[in-house]
Amino acid sequence: MLDIAEVAEKTGLTASALRYYEDLGLIEAVGRRGLRRQYEPSVITLVGLISMGRAAGFSLTEIGQIFGKDGKPSIPREELHRRAEEIDRQIRDLKTLSALLRHVAECAAPSHLECPKFQKLMRVTFKQNAKR
Amino acid sequence: MLDIAEVAEKTGLTASALRYYEDLGLIEAVGRRGLRRQYEPSVITLVGLISMGRAAGFSLTEIGQIFGKDGKPSIPREELHRRAEEIDRQIRDLKTLSALLRHVAECAAPSHLECPKFQKLMRVTFKQNAKR
DNA sequence: CTACAACTTCAAGCCAACTTGAGGTCAAGC
DNA sequence: GCTTGACCTCAAGTTGGCTTGAAGTTGTAG
């Protein structure tokens, strides 16, 4: 069993953020010792999941629908697949962005938008993203 | 030359968001026709870049430092590389998340946190992310 | 048994990123 | 030449995701 402070430390969030997640129904404590919340170690995994979802651009409410504390997603299969595809698209964008950042770090061109290498990197992504 | 409405349509943002970006110094119009802002087509690329940055979790201010309208990043090379590595890490997370979503869509286990397949997917990421 | 640090609640505050609204300007079609 | 609707500015409002503060409670070390 874990104190909120331990969960905070292991997840990198603050105790107040964890309580906030609880208010939203994203996580829950298995019980209390006095007033203090006691958490199962598995909550760390769950919080990790939440953080990944946040990083992927989901709102906390959406995340709740996908990985609620009850573990039963309240959104349809089809929608989940759609989200997965969105993430796959985002992964492609991020790959480009990562390459662009490294390029910007090294390239001495006056404006990057005019650098041919830069433009080439961009073009790939914009083709993929067209009409999105 | 493009009207703000055209830029909005092609980028998927609203006109007010674009004006907001201008206030922050992220983009700029080449001129005005009467009061109306006129944009070069290249602004679409720039806005695309900004959106990618947002999706990667950067704040608008950070994005401004990387791809300001002047095209001269005001943050050190080293930092840019650090950001690129962060993005690479995020890409790994997103891959896991995408796989998890597809799994959640199909798996009938009562709670996903207890499904062995699910746990396996998670474990990979958590090893990578340990001590972050 | 007492002190104290770590927790608790609840309301209010904060920041980023926009959006909305009121009131004004102007280019283009009739 | 006048209307109309797309644009403009500027201030204020909204939303999401927390944080902060005040005031109270409690497990643990000394």
pLDDT 10s digits, A54-109: 999 999 999 999 987 766 778 899 999 999 999 999 999 999 999 999 998 988 77
| B71 vs A53, A87, A111: nearest CB | A111
B102·A80 Cβ contact <8 A = yes
Mutation test of the interface with chain B: which of A9, A52, A118, choosing the one with the most B Cβ atoms within 10 A?
Answer: A52
Q: Give residue B68's pLDDT.
A: 74
Rounded Cα distance, A104 and A6, in Å: 40
Chain A hits for B87, Cβ within 8 Å: 94, 97-98, 101
In this predicted structure, what is the pLDDT of residue A71?
65
| DSSP secondary structure letter of residue A126 | H
Give the distance from residue A75's alpha carbon to the nearest chain B alpha carbon, in angstroms.
Answer: 9
pLDDT attached to residue B130: 39
Q: Looking at the complex, does the CB of residue A97 fall below 8 Å from at least one CB of chain B?
A: yes
CB contact under 8 A, B70 and A45: no
Q: Which nucleotide is nearest to B37 (CA to C1')?
A: D7
Query: What's the pLDDT score for residue A109?
Result: 78
- Tokens for A32, please give them: 């209390």
Bridge partners of B23?
none
Pairing of β B31-33 and β A36-38 = unpaired
**Would the CB atoms of B77 and A106 count as touching at under 8 Å?**
yes
| Chain B 56-95 contacts with nucleic strand C (CB below 7 A) | 59-61
What does the pLDDT read at residue B71? 65
Please tell me the predicted confidence (pLDDT) of residue A108: 76
CA angle B114, B118, B124 (to 5 degrees): 120
Please report the pLDDT score of residue B26 as a whole number.
96
Would you call B97 and A12 a contact, using CB atoms and an 8 Å cutoff?
A: no
Among A2, A8, A6, residue whose Cα is nearest residue A31: A2
* pLDDT tens-digit series, residues A15-35: 999 999 999 999 999 999 999
Quickly give B60 CA vs D11 C1' distance in Å: 22
> What does pTM read for this prediction?
0.90
Q: Residue A130: is its pLDDT beyond 60?
A: no
Instruction: Determine how many CB atoms are found less than 10 A away from the CB of residue B47.
Output: 22
| Residue B87 confidence (pLDDT) | 96
Name residues of chain B where pLDDT drops below 50: 127-132
The residues in A 45-64 lying below 8 A from B, measured between CB atoms, are 45-46, 48-49, 52-53, 55-57
Which value, in Å, is the radius of gyration of the alpha carbons in chain A? Answer: 20
- A90 CB near a chain B CB, below 8 Å? yes
| pLDDT of residue A128 exceeding 50 | no
